Amino acid sequence: MQSLTDLKDNISFDDFKAEVLKDYKVAVTSRECSLLGRREVLTGKAKFGIFGDGKEVPQLAMAKAFKKGDWRSGYYRDQTFMMAIGELTVEQFFAGLYANTNLELEPMSAGRQMGGHFVTHSLDENGNWKDLTKQYNSSADISPTAGQMPRLLGLAQASKIFKEFENVNAAKFSVNGNEVAWGTIGNASTSEGLFFETINAAGVLQVPMITSIWDDEYGISVHAKHQTTKENISEILKGFQRDKDNKGFEILRVKGWDYANLIETYIEAGTIARNEHVPVIIHVTELTQPQGHSTSGSHERYKSGERLKWESEYDCNKKMREWIIESNFATNETLTNIERTIKREVKQQKTKAWNTFLDPIKKERNELVTLIHELSKSSSNSVFISKLKETLEVISEPTRKDILSHGRKALRYVIGESTLESTKLKNWINERFKAIQHEFSSHLYCETDKSALHVTEVKPAYNDTSELVDGRIIIRDNFDAIFSKHPETLVFGEDTGNIGDVNQGLEGLQAKYGELRVADTGIREATIIGQGIGMALRGLRPIAEIQYLDYVLYALNVISDDLATTHYRTKGRQKAPLIIRTRGHRLEGIWHSGSQMGGLLNLIRGVLVLVPRNMTKAAGFYNTLLESDDPALVVECLNGYRLKERLPANMGNFKTPIGVVETVKDGSDITLVSYGSTLRLVEEAAKQLTTVGIDAEVIDIQSLVPFDIHHDIVKSIAKTNRIVVIDEDVPGGASAYIMDKILNEQNAFEFLDSAPKTMSANAHRPAYGNDGDYFSKPSTEDIFEFVYDVMHELSPIDFPKLT
């Protein structure tokens, strides 16, 4: 798009005037949506509202510099920008506010996110990539403050990768790396650590990233004096400013109500970032928030009368209006007519969106009313059932909760009655539940043929010359094969590049494939994950290395809030198949024990959690994942890199199946289930148990999420009638998750002759040293005695109590 100066110089006055008035119409439309949106919440039609009023004009300027192929990573104030690039209509705005579950009508999230969270579709309905170079792109917003920043870094770095990688297929993803990643953030959210971590990393990496800081001096009710040193974020970021001797940022400042200078500033920023691959910060000051933070309160409670007066005078839409009149682009009468027309049109589109949302629900309500009426005529509880029908009929704006609640309550009155009418009602409720539940629960994981569950197992191949090597050699040689086979792959993390990771699993690969594909990073776990998310969104296949499983906690909010929800919150229209490589289980002490599995399992649903027992299994998982579209966390065994394994002959091609357990020892007396490093202890204990007449079956879980999709564990229990889950996590952690799967999903109760048991570590984190480990986590002796006690309870005569 052209700058204001370009427009003045290159087109006629009438055309330039038309461009300005077009922008003004977008700003007025956006403001009217905010005003009406708040009313819809306060009248009960919508649950919550958070809007972009007061930020309209700078977003118009941003849209003028934003080109097809570019990416946005912003937050919930950016509705004007989305309207300006043609990716949000008024009807869609209100469909989002009402949580319409129809993706065609509400393309931002199909009602899964509150309004104000924006996205464009990178995938078609079959999960195939669209041509991202020919459309404006927005990654899917999340609510957590500054949560958009780590992803922004990766979106920008992808341009650098595409520009400098020669062999990667950039079709549909990039045109010579010329794309800019545009981020937006509120001034108060710059207090978050994620903001500073991202800014520092972008300065180091020198990527085409532009960050707009919308500064209205408040963070909800808290003034900037409590948020930011010197009350000025660009002032304290001065040390990042580049100069002739040092790389860094270009930092620009502009007033948020100054339409002409905003456009010049954004064009300048876009040119710098696009042409020089230099990150830019635009500090947009003197902005306002006319309706306060959200519909949860009023800003009159915490802003002074003087401040409110200033905000009224410096409202960016008002100042743009004044500038238009002063510049003789339009008269007050002309603008008033424009505003009246827009007010009427927005109201009409709002009404249309509401009716489109409500009409299908009313239709379902009417269907149920008929079914309940017919039920009442055939039941002895007719009076009570008729009352339900009457209460449902009079609800003028029903929800699906209202409808199904009434239907389910009606069924209670016909318990024991078997009639055609009750059967019809049951079937209707079941059909509606199935259909509606899918609208809210689909696409947590990939649902196309690119699902990891559809990748066929390929076993490691061995021959007479297959030698025993350290496990790290298998990982290293497999990554070598991966980088040769998949030019879109790259790996990065702390100590990943120059020394080939702390356990030498990438030894020599940076020298072979270059510093961009096998890269060192700073100590900044959150943005390591963010880099991976952003690059995966743009078609690359990143492998983000977190040095130890314990350190994943530093990135947990990014994995949980962003990565794990990407496919779900876009209803399958964006994907980020990032592979997170880490290592854990049994090393030393409180901070390097690597056993946070219970927390991870509950917090990162949407990400596969894979726990291979050795490096061959781990390598097979990487090969499988690169054939699929699901993001995953792979936890290698920290104490397994020096253990000997046979070297497969088909590096890069063997694949470990996901969601499939493996029986590593057959047995008939009891089923022992475990994973990772602990499995080796279980195998040793099982071997020792045979000396006292106990034949244990040992099963390696391998994949915690998804879990045992073929229900092989319950098949084992049907044979042994006993189960012990052995885990090095805290009590109630991963062992509780595993037992829930076995008992509640696989229905193992019917086969049990003994109480199901879990054996875990102590509640505290592991103490340091060999003795600390021995007294903190299950040992071979602990496992032997625990299993023996289960058999003793079954048959004290055959298995006398251990002394």
The mean predicted confidence, pLDDT, of the chain is: 95
Average pLDDT on 179-200 reads 97
Does any domain span residue 300? yes
* pLDDT band for position 298 (cuts 50, 70, 90): confident
Average pLDDT on 310-322 reads 97
Higher pLDDT, 212 or 298: 212
What the block records as the tokens of 46 is: 């919508």
pLDDT tens figures, 236-256: 999 999 999 999 999 999 999
Q: Are residues 290 and 325 in the same domain?
A: yes
d(CA 255, CA 121): 32
* pLDDT band for position 5 (cuts 50, 70, 90): low
Does any domain span residue 614? yes
Indicate if the pLDDT at residue 7 is higher than 60. Answer: no
Does any domain span residue 381? yes
Q: Are residues 622 and 680 in the same domain?
A: no
Higher pLDDT, 102 or 167: 102
Q: Which residue has the tokens 């669209």?
A: 130
pLDDT for res 592: 81
Which secondary structure element, helix H or strand E, spans residue 631, and what is its range? none
d(CA 485, CA 463): 23
CA torsion 596-598-600-604 (nearest 10°) is 180
Average pLDDT on 359-381 reads 96
Rg of the chain taking only CA atoms, in angstroms: 30
d(CA 383, CA 226): 62
Q: What b/e string do you get for 680-699 counting C-beta neighbours within 10 Å, with b at 16 or more?
A: bbbbebbebbeeeebebbbb
In a 10 Å sphere around its CB, with 0-12 CB exposed, 13-18 middle and 19+ buried, how is residue 99 labelled? buried
Does any domain span residue 679? yes
Q: Are residues 563 and 698 in the same domain?
A: no
Does any domain span residue 803? no
Q: Are residues 479 and 580 in the same domain?
A: yes
pLDDT tens figures, 257-293: 999 999 999 999 999 999 999 999 999 999 999 998 8
In single-letter form, the type of residue at position 644 comes to: K
Does any domain span residue 743? yes
Nearest residue to 460 (alpha-carbon basis) of 306, 659, 621, 574: 621
* pLDDT band for position 9 (cuts 50, 70, 90): low
Residues in Cβ contact with 252 at an 8 Å cutoff, skipping those fewer than 6 apart: 265, 268, 269, 280, 281, 282, 283
What the block records as the tokens of 262 is: 């905003």
pLDDT for res 311: 94
Q: Are residues 591 and 713 in the same domain?
A: no
Q: With beta carbons less than 8 A apart as the criterion, state whether 440 and 455 touch.
A: no
Which amino acids are annotated catalytic? 592
Higher pLDDT, 10 or 186: 186
Please identify, among 389, 406, 441, the residue that sits at the C-terminal boundary of a domain. 441
Indicate if the pLDDT at residue 3 is higher than 60. Answer: no
Q: Are residues 465 and 561 in the same domain?
A: yes
Q: With beta carbons less than 8 A apart as the criterion, state whether 595 and 552 touch.
A: no
d(CA 716, CA 145): 47
Question: Pairing between strand 757-759 and 608-610?
Answer: unpaired
Average pLDDT on 154-171 reads 94
Q: Are residues 425 and 490 in the same domain?
A: no
Query: What's the DSSP call for residue 758?
Result: E
Please identify, among 407, 441, 475, the residue that sits at the C-terminal boundary of a domain. 441
Q: With beta carbons less than 8 A apart as the criterion, state whether 545 and 581 touch.
A: yes
Q: Are residues 628 and 759 in the same domain?
A: no
Q: Are residues 372 and 515 in the same domain?
A: no
What the block records as the tokens of 203 is: 């300065």
d(CA 527, CA 152): 9
pLDDT tens figures, 488-525: 999 999 999 999 999 999 999 999 999 999 999 999 99
Q: Is 585 left (phi over 0), alpha (psi -120 to 50) or beta?
A: left
d(CA 442, CA 14): 50
Indicate if the pLDDT at residue 594 is higher than 70. Answer: no
Average pLDDT on 290-307 reads 88
Nearest residue to 375 (alpha-carbon basis) of 403, 401, 407: 407
Nearest residue to 704 (alpha-carbon basis) of 598, 552, 584: 598
Residues in Cβ contact with 461 at an 8 Å cutoff, skipping those fewer than 6 apart: 648, 649, 650, 654
d(CA 323, CA 258): 9
Q: Are residues 505 and 549 in the same domain?
A: yes
Does any domain span residue 92? yes
pLDDT tens figures, 26-77: 999 999 999 999 999 999 999 999 999 999 999 999 999 999 999 999 999 9
pLDDT tens figures, 209-224: 999 999 999 998 999 9
pLDDT for res 74: 97
- Domain range spanning residue 673? 662-793
Higher pLDDT, 720 or 765: 720
Indicate if the pLDDT at residue 1 is higher than 50. Answer: no
pLDDT tens figures, 701-717: 999 999 999 999 999 99
Q: How many structural domains compose the chain?
A: 4
Residues in Cβ contact with 367 at an 8 Å cutoff, skipping those fewer than 6 apart: 428
* pLDDT band for position 12 (cuts 50, 70, 90): confident
* pLDDT band for position 770 (cuts 50, 70, 90): confident
pLDDT for res 635: 96
Indicate if the pLDDT at residue 623 is higher than 60. Answer: yes
Report how far apart, in Å, the C-alpha atoms of 309 and of each of 59, 231, 373, 472, 796 are: 23, 21, 59, 67, 85
Q: Are residues 427 and 463 in the same domain?
A: no
User: Looking at residue 75, which CATH number applies to its domain?
Assistant: 3.40.50.970
Q: Are residues 608 and 725 in the same domain?
A: no
Does any domain span residue 798? no
User: Looking at residue 690, which CATH number applies to its domain?
Assistant: 3.40.50.920
What the block records as the tokens of 50 is: 């958070």
d(CA 769, CA 613): 22
